[in-house]
Amino acid sequence: MNPNTGAGPDGEGTPVGRRLVLGMLGLGAGAMAAAPWLQSGLETALGAVADKDPTGVTGLLPNGGGFRYYSVTSSVPHKDDSSYRLTVDGLVDKPAAYRLADLRALPQTRLVRDVQCVTGWRVPETPFEGVRLSTLLDAAGVSPRGKAVRFTCFDGAYSESLTLDQARRSDILVALKLKDKPIGHSHGGPVRLYVAPMYFYKSAKWLSGITVTDEVRPGYWEERGYDVDAWVGRSNGRDDDPTA
């Protein structure tokens, strides 16, 4: 995977110094056993640094929250209440565009599951909260020809897919919160997909489009060899414990 990178105000990344990287490595190890407030602070600091790191080295660093920062592009625009839109279209009767306020007004579901990356790291008992994907699909009215759902992202590059049956599971969320706080930019905010029972590459960050299609269209990493059906412990040649 390509680690998360970012760009400075002039469009060029600001290099991360060797001392800062070594310091973060030491902090990352120490924070795993530190108080929760220190873990939270380290995670926030690493996210901010990752946004300005053209080398991608911060994506290799652990942090108090256990996550890594990944992106497949050199920079990702920031979205907020005024600029964010989530479209639902394709083989549906009623295409829609949701603002953040619209999504927040819908019934919310909170799930606490382990997060498992196909590269091996795992973050236990991680709360995600948001709107069930099935709620948005039901509101749109899926055509009888609809068999799958394709997801696109406002980084301009990433995509994912699920079968329609998978998309209607109760543990698939259009997520607005992570660890009971609004999802930050480095974690794919303000809105990301959360596919609880599958490897984390299925949980597309920076979600901007939900399109109902007549067949499964492999996503970004599936076009590069990952399994389309990414059940934890039953795919990609791994035997991790299930997350759902």
pLDDT averaged over every residue in the chain: 81
Q: What is the pLDDT of residue 173?
A: 98
End-to-end CA distance of the chain: 24
| Mean pLDDT (whole number) for 165-172 | 98
Cis amide leading into 242 (omega within 30): no
Q: Is the predicted pLDDT of residue 218 greater than 70, yes or no?
A: yes
Residue 244: pLDDT band with limits 50, 70, 90: confident
The answer to whether residues 70 and 3 touch, using CB atoms and an 8 Å cutoff, is yes
The answer to whether residues 194 and 175 touch, using CB atoms and an 8 Å cutoff, is yes
Q: What is the pLDDT of residue 176?
A: 98
Q: Is the predicted pLDDT of residue 203 greater than 80, yes or no?
A: yes
The burial of 54, by beta-carbon neighbours within 10 Å (0-12 exposed, 13-18 middle, 19 or more buried), is given as middle
| Mean pLDDT (whole number) for 212-227 | 96
Q: What is the pLDDT of residue 227?
A: 97
Query: In this predicted model, what pLDDT tens digit does every residue of 74-89 receive, in sequence order?
Result: 789 999 999 999 999 9
Which range of 11-15, 94-98, 186-190 scores highest in mean pLDDT? It is 94-98
Q: What is the pLDDT of residue 214?
A: 98
More confident residue, 59 or 225: 225
Query: In this predicted model, what pLDDT tens digit does every residue of 111-122 receive, in sequence order?
Result: 999 999 998 989
User: Buried b / exposed e across 114-138, counting CB within 10 Å, b at 16+?
Assistant: bbbbbeeeebeebebbbbbbbbbbe
- For residue 190, report the phi and psi dihedrals to the nearest 5 degrees: -85, -10
The answer to whether residues 129 and 110 touch, using CB atoms and an 8 Å cutoff, is yes
- For residue 39, report the phi and psi dihedrals to the nearest 5 degrees: -60, -45
More confident residue, 175 or 60: 175
Q: What is the pLDDT of residue 66?
A: 64
The answer to whether residues 69 and 186 touch, using CB atoms and an 8 Å cutoff, is yes
More confident residue, 23 or 95: 95
- Give the orientation angle of helix 36-50 with respect to helix 18-31, to 10 degrees: 150
| Mean pLDDT (whole number) for 222-231 | 96
Q: What is the pLDDT of residue 65?
A: 57
More confident residue, 160 or 5: 160
pTM over 0.75? The answer is yes
